[in-house]
Amino acid sequence: MSFTVHAPSFEGLRCTDINLTVSKPCVRVDNGTLSNHEARKVVVMSSNLIPKRNLQQGSFVRKKKLDEPPVQKLKFVRTLLIDNYDSYTYNIYQELSVVNGVPPVVVRNDEWTIKDLYHYLYKERAFDNVVISPGPGSPACSSDIGICLQLLLECWDIPILGVCLGHQALGLVHGAKVVHASEPIHGRLSEIEHNGCRLFHDVPSGQNSGFKVVRYHSLVIDANSLPNELIPIAWTTSTDALSLLGTHDLDIMPDSSEDSCPSRSQFSLSDRVGGKVLMGIRHSTRPHYGLQFHPESVATCYGRQIFKNFREITETYWQRLKPTFANQRVFQYAAHMQVPNANQLMKEASGSLQVTHNGNDQLSKEAFKNGQLVHDAVNKSSLGMSNTLDLSHPNIGTKYLKLKWKKFDGLASKVGGASNIFYSLFGHHKAENTFWLDSSSTEKERARFSFMGGKGGSLWKHVTYRLTDERDLTLRGGGYMTIEDAEGSTTKTFLEEGFLDFLKRELLLFRYDKKDYEGLPFDFLGGYIGYIGYNLKVECGVVSNRHKSRTPDACFFFADNLLAIDHCNGDVYIMSLHEGGSASSWLEDTKQKLLTIETPIKRDTDEQTLKTPRSVSSEGGFLCDKSREDYVKDIEKCMEYIRNGESYELCLTNQLRKKIGDIDALGLYLHLREKNPAPYAAWLNFSRENLSICCSSPERFLRLDKSGILEAKPIKGTIARGTTQEEDERLKRQLQFSEKDQAENLMIVDLLRNDLGRVCDPGSVYVPHLMEVESYSTVHTMVSTIRGKKRSDVTAVDCVRAAFPGGSMTGAPKLRSMELLDSIESSSRGIYSGSIGFFSYNQTFDLNIVIRTIVLHENEASIGAGGAIVALSNSEDEYEEMILKTRAPTKAVMEFI
């Protein structure tokens, strides 16, 4: 039996102007050129309010018969998820993967034409419903909304759910007005009441019901402008917004059968935000729904239930349309689909999704087992997953690595600790070409291991990468890589595909025996160690960099000889990595040096390292790239972008610089780590580049361990320590209950959930710790933890590419925010805002966020600092917070020189 969907006509669209009462709906950056998002393909939009076809024709809408059999549930539901270049799309992706039984296909809003939509929705019958993601900008700007308006207008017989921007688009395409909200609401919550429609089945309603949702929006649909065909289904319960409180007790775990939600006591009323706001609409005759709030947010209650309800709406719709549809669609699912720009199809194993099938439904089982799912063409392209090396021929470029190691129980405390070990073994000759990933603050299990080393054995090399000068229009991306080997020979090559692809290929070539490192309690066993500069964002989805970095865009050593120190019990490990043959004599030589270290270390009295620091009260002597007045003006620009819906949060930064001449860089680092210990601190010296990095970062960007668990620990929210214990505790509580800081943190938590969701198994991303306050020598900070299980088909570098730069340094949505920040900031961030860490040869990695860091390059010290600008920001307070974050590193420099 055949089944035909009567698709609406796509010919003869009348294009009329769509007016939106919002100033500057499409953004231009300060240099007078179109911003990157405006340069995307502009699609034809139609404002026809009612299609010419009678909706009652074709039996798409009909009354339920009394004797109609109950709706048979589908084994899986196939969703097309349209991404409006948002940073929360993959949170929706994760939810739909769990609810639907298979992951949705993600397509960006300018990737398909209307003909593509017609082909896949009607000819291939490849999807059961469509979800339109949130996104920056306005639905009236073609470069912001892409194909979505045409989709909503023409595909009247396909179930569609629009979230935030998608909700506004649903209103706009039918004639409603989209206007500025009385106040932008980002990362804040509201209690919701609804009319009990099917989208809110089993969801409570009204004040004190427990139905609280997260909002990220500056624009809203004017409820008074709704046409008759759009029905309001949800709205805020009162004129008050809510904030998330008491989060230090909140654990949000994955895959619970019920929707997890903070308890009622963890919220309190906040400032008034005007009248009740429309939070949901549906079309009176079409299966189209819109939600202004974000059901996918970690702090939204009943979000998964709403997605379940949309699945059930979809099932009911298709079953009542054609009772035999369920059996017909099984074969359609097994058919091959080819998404534009995707080089290959990705197979999704049923076991990885934990989808349970009816044992008697053999047809459905076979379809699920054999069906090939198109899985996120954009994701595959941006992660480089289609470029995986063919390693079927093991002799082509592969490297067989062997690891030898020795352990010395409790040795660190016997020889004066990590600093004495490093100085004794690697402190000579100005510590040239040395590294030290330094967990100098280990309380509360923030970090446990430190790794150190210098120029090593035959596998050692120094890799330097610089992006091309993008003003040279003859070059298209890529950059120049210089490699110095252990013998001192150098080679220079041009990498058209970029540094991250190079690093990915290098790591994929390694072969090793896991037995070599059995018994080692840490993940770094040798491999690449160094930094990725902020400008490498162009290899992670950003179109271009406006500012060129003064320092290399990436610098790494390949470390084949190294030490590890376990700060939990003082154990010291020495490791030597080699390719075939026998291990070098480095292990025995290092053993003898370790056992003869004197404690305390005796140094010459004229060494600058022992010089008594002088007292300094401020950051005096450093000059800011932006003055206080200019920085405050930049904050106002950011807030204007936020008011117009272009961003939810912008992490604005500044650079402080000082000429320093010749300086004992290692001595400065030892002084910094003493004054401002941090769990993700680092020392790097690249002598060829005249570059030393003294980092006291408290923030982890991303880690992948041997069990395949990804972890991010973003910091958002900072306040100074008090001068007395009473004042210190008061300031800590002030940070913990700050609505602004909670909103900042929540936005970045949702962003990192999104980034991990791109590369993690469906349903595995969770938040074990939300908004915990951690204390350091000069500041209290608000920290969250996000974890997920890495998918088996992605590599370590794929994970980094999906999340770099860290969202705590960009804002959200990430791509649009970085574009706007490039137009505001006057210089490259360089190493600041990038990441320092390692990529082990066994595909594990651990990277920090480069903050609280002194970069010494060509006789200049530079320190970056900034803060998240949100709708609740105060310009003067934001400036003071930026200066606060420079206090520890600037004071260390001024005391030392």
Q: Could you report the per-residue pLDDT of 701-725, keeping only the tens digit for each?
A: 999 999 999 999 999 988 989 999 9
What are the pLDDT digits (tens) for 355-390? 333 333 333 333 233 333 333 333 443 444 433 344
Give the dihedral of Cα atoms 378, 815, 254, 568; nearest 10 deg: 120
Give pLDDT, residue 372. Answer: 32
Burial of 483: CB neighbours in 10 Å, binned 0-12, 13-18, 19+: middle
Give pLDDT, residue 238. Answer: 76
Domain boundaries, the chain: 79-244+275-324, 399-579+586-595+623-896
* 746: alpha, beta or left? (left if phi > 0; alpha if psi -120 to 50): alpha
Give pLDDT, residue 396. Answer: 64
Distance, CA of 503 to chain centre: 20
What phi and psi values does residue 511 have, to the nearest 5 degrees? -120, 140
- The residue with greater pLDDT, 522 or 337, is 522
Cα–Cα distance, 130 to 104 (Å, whole number): 9
Task: Label residue 302 by pLDDT band (50, 70, 90).
Answer: very high
The number of beta carbons lying within 10 Å of the beta carbon of residue 728 is 15
pLDDT at 806 over 70: yes
Give pLDDT, residue 897. Answer: 83
pLDDT at 584 over 80: no
Task: Label residue 621 by pLDDT band (50, 70, 90).
Answer: confident
* 302: alpha, beta or left? (left if phi > 0; alpha if psi -120 to 50): left
By annotation, the residues acting in catalysis are 164, 294, 296
What are the pLDDT digits (tens) for 50-80? 233 333 333 333 333 334 455 566 789 999 9
Give pLDDT, residue 445. Answer: 62
Of 735, 729, 663, 737, nearest to 896 by C-alpha is 663
Cα–Cα distance, 555 to 552 (Å, whole number): 7
Of 847, 647, 876, 848, nearest to 744 by C-alpha is 647
Give pLDDT, residue 131. Answer: 98
- Segment (H or E) for 650: strand 649-659
Of 425, 424, 455, nearest to 602 by C-alpha is 424
What are the pLDDT digits (tens) for 729-773? 999 999 999 999 999 999 999 999 999 999 999 999 999 999 999
User: Alpha-carbon Rg of the chain, whole angstroms?
Assistant: 28
Task: Label residue 262 by pLDDT band (50, 70, 90).
Answer: very low
Cα separation values, 502 from 494, 533, 543, 705, 756, Å: 11, 15, 19, 21, 22
Mean pLDDT of 21-30: 40
Give pLDDT, residue 395. Answer: 52
What are the pLDDT digits (tens) for 624-648? 999 999 999 999 999 999 999 999 9
pLDDT at 36 over 60: no
Residues 6+ apart with CB under 8 A from 711: 700, 702, 703, 705, 785, 786, 787
Residues 6+ apart with CB under 8 A from 201: 305, 309, 312
Cα separation values, 29 from 24, 646, 798, 833, Å: 12, 12, 30, 22
Give pLDDT, residue 11. Answer: 26
pLDDT at 811 over 50: yes
pLDDT at 351 over 60: no
Residues 6+ apart with CB under 8 A from 617: none
Of 48, 47, 50, 41, nearest to 113 by C-alpha is 41
Cα–Cα distance, 787 to 252 (Å, whole number): 11
Give pLDDT, residue 867. Answer: 93
Q: Which amino acid is at 325?
A: F
Find out whether 652 and 821 touch, Cβ atoms under 8 Å. yes
Mean pLDDT of 101-118: 94
- The residue with greater pLDDT, 52 or 226, is 226
Output the six-digit token pair for 785.
């933890």
Give pLDDT, residue 7. Answer: 33
Cα–Cα distance, 130 to 78 (Å, whole number): 9
pLDDT at 349 over 60: no
What are the pLDDT digits (tens) for 485-501? 999 999 999 999 999 99
Task: Label residue 442 by pLDDT band (50, 70, 90).
Answer: low
Note whether 79-244+275-324 and 399-579+586-595+623-896 share their fold: no
Q: What counts of helices (H) and strands (E) characterise the chain?
A: 21, 36
pLDDT at 49 over 90: no
pLDDT at 850 over 90: yes
Task: Label residue 805 by pLDDT band (50, 70, 90).
Answer: very high
Give pLDDT, residue 580. Answer: 74
| CATH number, span 399-579+586-595+623-896 | 3.60.120.10
Give pLDDT, residue 136. Answer: 96
- The percent of residues in the chain predicted with pLDDT above 70, rounded, is 75
Architecture of 79-244+275-324 per CATH?
A: 3-Layer(aba) Sandwich (3.40)
Average pLDDT across the chain, whole number? 81
Strand partners, 510: 399
pLDDT at 88 over 60: yes
Give pLDDT, residue 583. Answer: 63
Give the dihedral of Cα atoms 882, 887, 893, 894; nearest 10 deg: 110
What are the pLDDT digits (tens) for 233-243? 999 987 666 66
